[in-house]
Amino acid sequence: MRNKMFKSALALALLAAGATSALAAGAEEDFKTAYAAAESANKEAGKLRNQWTTTASTLAAAKKAADAGDFDKATASAKEAEALAKASIFQATSERTRWKEMEIR
């Protein structure tokens, strides 16, 4: 009877450990996806000669959090970096014509 209980406990513990590591692996994957999207958007901004310093620092913060194993924080930072990069792309694109509004004539 005691042996049976021990086996069940062991199985439960292994299951819990497996679930935790699966969750961690999932969080890491989420981070990698978010980081790659942010980097790609920032590269696009670079091609338009319009990167923002805040995108770079937010990407660095994401990497730092990931290195420390905090993937939730890292993913949140990566998503913020992507939003900043996309805003810089929008700015560069809209300024192609908008700059004329400020011109002295």
Q: Which is nearer to another protein, 50 or 70 (CB)?
A: 50
Task: Give me the least distance between CB of 73 and another protein, in Å please.
Answer: 21
Find the shortest distance in angstroms from Cβ 99 to another protein.
4
Give the chain's end-to-end CA distance (angstroms, integer). Answer: 93
Residue 89 CB, nearest approach to another protein (Å): 12
Ramachandran angles phi, psi of 63, nearest 5°:
-65, -40
The token pair at 37 is 């999207």
Residue 31 tokens, joined: 């981070």
Q: What DSSP designation does 102 have?
A: G
Residues that bind another protein (CB under 8 A): 49-54, 56, 84, 87-88, 91-92, 95-100, 102-105
